[in-house]
Structure 1
Amino acid sequence: MNKIKLGTSNLQVGEIALGCMRMNSLSKKDASLVIENALELGVDFFDHADIYGGGDSEKIFADAIGMTPSIREKIYIQTKCGIANGTFDFSKEHILESVDGSLSRLQTDYIDVLLLHRPDTLMEPEEVAEAFTKLKESGKVRHFGVSNQNPMQVELLKKYVKQDLIANQLQLSLMFTPMIDAGLNVNMQHDPAIVRDGSVLEYSRLNDMTIQAWSPFQYGMFKGVFVGNEKFPEVNEKLQELAEKKGVTDSAIAIAWILRHPAKIQPVVGTMNPQRLADISKASEIELTRQEWYELYRAAGNDLP
């Protein structure tokens, strides 16, 4: 597994991360197999959130891995906060309480990376800054970032927050590409030219923020998986063609497509199937050519100007 540098931090982590949202559906034994398999593959970065499984995903993860100081040193844990009771809450009180809850469930003294989960329009950035400083000084959180935020929202935080914001977790897949579309259709009068996110792709590259791609196999927002889906024959034909050519699975090609982008995007895959993760991880071993990348982009239903 290739490594990437996470934002401006000194963290060198696997370029593919394992999302643990569904871990609450597993037994302790099965969760242990998933984690051990991930580590054997070089997947050492685990993405959590306080709301996943109502907190049970974090708890099962810690129980399954048998959290000890020696094990903790081998892994990187990221968790998220800011969603509460069906709304959003970036208050100092909520952030601090959320982190304490995650630390307890994860059976650890520190979180490697804490992300703010979804934008809170009632955010008072001074409160976020106070919470981050307290968490950093106490050693409870080592690095910070955001999720699903546009450049101006990040800039507003940066005006007050002392710590670097090293990552932004955003939806991206071969079949969900608005952050890429707008940059290819500049100054044009059709839908793909619409800048929906404040040029977050370019902003992230300029500011050395790692984009973490969530739902890398989904089309639309939680509409379903596109790989192997008969609704999308053209893109699946091209995925299968390249999979056979390179000796990997079609899912690995879908991840390799994300990894090929020079922004050094880190896909977050949520499979709880050890063999599927093993197949997907082979994406780290191959590199698509420029021609292959654009062939897949076109097969996904996109036109180039």
Structure 2
Amino acid sequence: MRTFTLPGTELSVSDVVLGLMRIQDTSDDEVRTLVSAARDAGITLLDHADIYGDRLHGCERRFAEALRFTASEREQWVIQSKAGIVKDGPYFDFSYAHIMESVHGSLEALGTGYLDILLLHRPDALVEPEEVARAFDELSASGKVRAFGVSNHTPRQIDLLRKYVAQPLVANQLQLSITHAPMIAQGIAANMQGLPQSVSRDDGVLDYCRLHDITVQAWSPFQANFFDGPFLGSDRYPELNAVIDRLSAQYGVPAEAIAVAWITRHPARMQVVLGTTSPDRVAAAAQGSDVTLTRAEWYELVRAAGYTVP
């Protein structure tokens, strides 16, 4: 597993991240086995959010109950959580009061004195960036949060925050898979009239993040589109799966590893966030960090996914 220093921080992080949004109903042993599989695969970053679970902070609490980290064990992990989504509605809240309440709730649920990274979870159209800055200043000064970022934000939404927030925004968590890749595919076929792929849907968010040392964390790396099922093994993507299967055999890794390798091959140095509760699938996907696809193979996967490479 490759690791790197997250730009804007002193945190050493892995290419692959273990997301823990589905552990609410798992047993202690199942949580421990999942996290152990991640550790054995070289994963160093664990991803939470206050809304994950059937109640507020549910998955964070389930995680802490199962693991019961000692102080030294806690130091071995980079733990991030997210705040800003209110389930009742739903709606979004980036107010000072909500951010502070959420972080304190996450710290209590996780049984830790600090978060390594806090992300703002989906944009709040009513954001008052001065309130975000006030919360970030207090959380940073108190040592309760070491680094900050966003999730699902556009370049202009980030610019608005950066005008007021003193701390660097070090990550932007965005949906990305081979079949759901508008942030990459648009640039490949820019300025091609009549081709939907050429339409910019995110104001060049990937290039923006690269220019500003913001690490893209790719969520749903196996989803075909927006929660409509995986593309791996799907009869909706026969050509893509044929290419993945061939590359899987060629590199001696599972299909999941090829899907991860397609993302980690990109020079933006993106991370891949896994949402599975299967230790075997974590181990399989993590192998993608060590596979370096050739340019020809990378573009072949793009074409096989249905995108135009002019």
TM (norm. structure 2) is 0.97
Q: Map of 1:67-216 to 2, 5 A cutoff?
A: 67-84=69-86, 85=88, 86-189=90-193, 190-216=195-221
Deviation at 1:5, TM superposition (A): 2.3
Structure 2: state its 5+ residue gaps.
none
Give the stretch that moved more between structures: 185-194 or 81-90.
185-194
1:7-52 per-position Cα deviation (integer Å, ceiling 9, x unaligned): 3211111110001000112111110111112112111100000000
1:202 CA displacement: 0.4
Corresponding residue number in structure 2 for 1:291: 296
Q: Deviations over 1:106-154 (max 9, x none)?
A: 0000000000000000000000000000111111100000000000000
C-alpha distance in 2 between matches for 1:226 and 1:7: 31
Per-residue CA distance 1:52-109 (angstroms, 9 max, x = gap): 0022211111122222101111001000000012100000000000000000000000
TM-score, normalised to structure 1, is 0.98
Hey, what does 1:233 align to over in structure 2? 238
Provide the rounded CA distance (Å) in 1 between the counterparts of 2:33 and 2:66. Answer: 8
Letter in 2 for 1:167: A
Q: 2:266 is matched by which residue type in structure 1?
A: H
Q: Distance in 2 between matches of 1:142 and 1:61?
A: 21
Q: Which moved more, 1:24-33 or 1:147-156?
A: 24-33
Give the C-alpha shift of residue 186 in structure 1.
Answer: 1.8
Moved more, 14-23 or 279-288: 279-288
> In structure 1, what is the Cα distance between the partners aligned to 2:73 and 2:126?
39
CA deviation profile, 1:190-238 (whole Å, cap 9, x unmatched): 2111111010010000001000000000011111111111111110111
1-structure distance, mates of 2:130, 2:247: 49
Measure, in 1, the Cα distance between the counterparts of 2:246 and 2:209: 32
Partner of 2:222: 217
Q: 1:303 aligns with which of 290, 300, 308?
A: 308
- Once the 2 structures are TM-superposed, how far is the Cα of residue 271 of structure 1 from its aligned partner? 1.4
1:22 aligned partner, one-letter code: R
Moved runs in structure 1, 4+ residues, more than 6 A? none
Secondary structure at 1:304's aligned position in 2? coil
Separation of aligned partners in 2, 1:59 and 1:32: 14
How many Å separate the matches in 2 of 1:303 and 1:198? 20
| Identity fraction in percent | 50
Measured in 2, the distance between the counterparts of 1:99 and 1:294 equals 41
Equivalent residue, structure 1, for 2:9: 9
CA distance in 2, matches of 1:37, 1:185: 39
Contact 2:133 2:164 in 1 (8 A): yes
Q: Can you give the 5+ residue segments of structure 1 that lack an aligned partner in the other structure?
A: none
